[in-house]
Structure 1
Amino acid sequence: MQCQIRRALAHDAQAISKVVIAALRESNARDYSPEVIAQVEQHFCPAAILTLMKQRQMYVAVVEQHVVGTASLDQAVVRSVFVSPRHQGRGIGQRLMARLKEVATAAQVEELRVPSSLTAESFYAQLGFQKVRDEFHGAERTVIMALRLDA
């Protein structure tokens, strides 16, 4: 399986939205209530994705010309890492994170932080991130994690 990681383009917004919503509904739904999932989904419609592209460095993973994953870097904060449920467990999330680490290192970021879902906490831990604290946004629990980058 050939997987290309590249910067997200405006025409990717619809596909990114579909990947995120599918991952929320299938993967994150194991750890969050339907109400929390529905609330989070509202932040990932195509129009919202276009707005986020202007604020963050957004990347996509492409397999056979289809967007199957996404990840963003907002200065020193990793945001919105999602892989299509059909493609999870194949190293795509790791490849997206490797690209974000490269970009952050080139920008001389000393520490990456990520507001992780409960679902992704073990994924980030496997990449070396350590839990800093829990945050609560209503019923949504987020795990703040950090990773020191080598200079």
Structure 2
Amino acid sequence: MKIREIRAEDIEHIWELIKRNFDEVMIEHHSKEVVEKFKEYNKPEKLKEQMEWKEIYVVEEDDKIIGTGAIANFGDNDSPKYSISNFFVKPELHGRGIGRFIFDHLLMSIKKKEIERLHVPSSRTGLGFYKRMGFVEDEFQPDKKDKIIWMTMKLS
């Protein structure tokens, strides 16, 4: 298993991976309306745009993409809000340590930025994983209507 930065030719593979997670996993905990809304945010043209402002990585095994994860600044330069984003593993490979592998890489990268907190907007599906990684649910939840739970991890 290896991790590397995304390339333009990866977008269609990543889109299929993300779509499968929405259709096979997230749909169990979110309404169809919410799932479709998130699919819209992750379509190939959106992923291509995100390559400009996110650090996006892919995990490969036997030259096939099996996972992805990104670091995004959802704040601004004066008040950054570094967050984990686009975090997905092939559904049939959940529970095999691939998510932890991606997370460890993202955490290593984020620690170089010398920030105090890392955030994640988690679906209900990812809540247990992020809690195991050390995140705690935020008191204020701005995306309650979409059933997204913002969580924070203190780094220092």
TM category, shorter? over 0.9
2:40 alignment partner in structure 1? 42
Query: Distance in 2 between the 1:53 and 1:9 partners?
Result: 9
Q: 1:149 deviation in Å?
A: 1.4
- 1:89 aligned partner, one-letter code: G
1:146 aligns to 2:144 (yes or no): no
1:127 aligns to 2:133 (yes or no): yes
Q: 1:50 deviation in Å?
A: 0.8
1:104 aligns to 2:102 (yes or no): no
Overall identity of the aligned pairs, in %: 25
Q: 1:137 deviation in Å?
A: 5.9
SS at 1:54 equivalent: coil
Task: Kindly report structure 1 stretches of 4+ aligned residues shifted beyond 6 Å.
Answer: none
Cα deviation per residue 1:81-101 (whole Å; 9 max; x = unaligned)? Answer: 111102111111111111110
Residues 135 and 141 of structure 1 are in contact (CA less than 8 Å); yes or no, is this contact kept in structure 2?
no
2:76 alignment partner in structure 1? none
Equivalent residues, number: 147
Structure with more of its chain in strand, by fraction: 1
TM-score normalized by structure 2? Answer: 0.89
Task: Kindly report the root-mean-square deviation, in angstroms, between the aligned alpha carbons of the 2 structures.
Answer: 1.2
Structure 2 segments unaligned to the other structure (5+ residues): 74-81
Structure 1 segments unaligned to the other structure (5+ residues): none
Equivalent residue for 1:95, pick from 95, 101, 110: 101
Query: Distance in 2 between the 1:146 and 1:136 partners?
Result: 15
